Structure 1
């Protein structure tokens, strides 16, 4: 051993080492002798993991430590934590305290957050000598740990509700609804196909109606042409009658002249009979001779008058027959128009839209035809009877004149030659006039025949339209009614199922809404702690991981040094005294 040790030097070195270690410890601990502190208190519901001398951090910066832990005297369910922070720390009235854990070790510390620039300092409020109380709030971990049982129970209740909602009964109801919807969609497809067939049938009917309206236009043109022909024929008849009137007027004047001549002859006979008595016998003989010679001619003239009268009578009979046929044709036309109006009414009840417009056009055309036929009827009633009456009066006048002339000719045969010639010319003119009237009536008959043919064509067209309405639109309407009945049945069955489905859906929606509200409330409650954890805790975890890695690296270096040279690790590079 060392026999001559320098104990003074050893003691001095030892004391210097102790003082250096103490200074190093003070330097490591960052002890400030002149530092001032402020004391605050915080009430927590639970202080698990928090110990004496735990850190107090303000927005992540270490500003103090915990100096006291105790139960609250007034409320034992609370823990009163006393903290000591630097006096310069700006603790505001709206600053809050939370209990957080540092790193993975779970060391608790008090985290101070918040504090707006406008808020006053907490130490300046109230009694300056009293210890100020900082408001506390739950941390993220506390919120999760405290709310986890409620969340689990609510989640279990929600899962049970979902299971109940998805039970066998509701599944069967949903399956029934889906099957009903499938059958309803099939029936709806069938109804749509029926509607397409109906629309096709209606379009075909509209096409037929269009063709029918085209035929009505042709018929209206034919009727207008016939009416024009009738008007022209009546004009010709009026002209013929007007030409007959001068002839009869000339005949009347000739007969007046004959009467004057007969008066002169009578005067002459009465005054000069005594003087010409002798000559009269010779004259009578000559007259008898002339009468005998003229008798065949007179008989021929009378025969011509008789034939002309018979021809006029036949023409009037034919005219009456034609007028009767015209009346019958007009009656049939009125019946046809009545049938047309009936068919138009039925068609108006069955068809709307374009059919209504077509029926309106048909009615306008029929109205025009009715007006034209009415004008023809009025013309036949107003113009033809006076014309026939004039012809009859003219013929009767001619018959009376002929009778008078026959009597006068029988009495005065000497004066009949010029009168016979004049009467023959008059009869020829009358015969020609009657022939013209015959031709006019023939033209009128042909016009009426054309009108009757046109009306027959109109009857056939409306009969076809009636056939189309009865054969096509009737089944189409029946199909529409059948499809509507099927749709109504489907909708009624669906309406019967909808209340139960709606009730279930409402209950499920209410439960889902309640669950969502609970989750939203929980998330809203947990959002601030989670945000604080993401803001403060995650950086601490990161720093802890880095420090742990550095610590492990240093420990590995120390272990390597210890394995390589333990003596040098413990005693350094200096040589021992005994070796010197």
Structure 2
């Protein structure tokens, strides 16, 4: 009985010691991870190879581990991955998360990268925890990369390859092959014709080069002529313009003097037009009458001589029959 009692006592002491050791280990784990930070990541892709306890790295440096993986019930196309990282890891705004494979073992890890120097840390804004932090911890945005991006784009890539294959098949049909063969034959004939015309083409190119050179020389000469013309205009036209301005000034002064003279002569001109002009008209009328009388006298002298001016004209003699 005493031996059995000793065994029970020893067993009880061992159990107590093991329980204390386990509690001490848990206490140490909590103490070491008490300053760790938790973040949620919502991946819109498969998270193959990521499990609880999978490593988390920041720019390739081990920084934490995955603590939970679950579907996001409000939107099942997202997978929520919760990670715990060390307190000294700079999870700043601009940091993104991707899934990267580790070697060829099929195991993957969560990789963090892209922190911007001087940016504030990612945190839940006050009063909006239900929108931007649905589970009470900050959310790190995702970025497709590596194997995940390739796998996600694989269906579109296969569809494009299939479409390209179909179009190539249509392009290389028998009719199109004949057309391509005709195009190649025509191209060959054109090449042969160009080869035969090679010397003529070379001569044409040489003449074109000479013409371009002459055009350049002509353009240079035109530029020099324009510069000379500008100099002539600057030297000759300016004095001529000055003389012309002086002549215009003198003409203006003459016009002003003429206007003044006309103004002074205007009373005399009015008197001349009112008095002298009518008298001149009467004088002309009298002269016209005198001229007619003199003409009549001259005609009488021509007919009857000078006696016709002092006596009457003789009647013709009458003879009885």
* TM-score class normalised by the smaller sequence: 0.3 to 0.5
Relative contact order higher in (CA < 8 Å, ≥ 6 apart)? 1
Rg (Cα) greater in structure: 1
The answer to which structure has the higher helix fraction is 1
TM-score if structure 2 supplies the norm length?
0.47
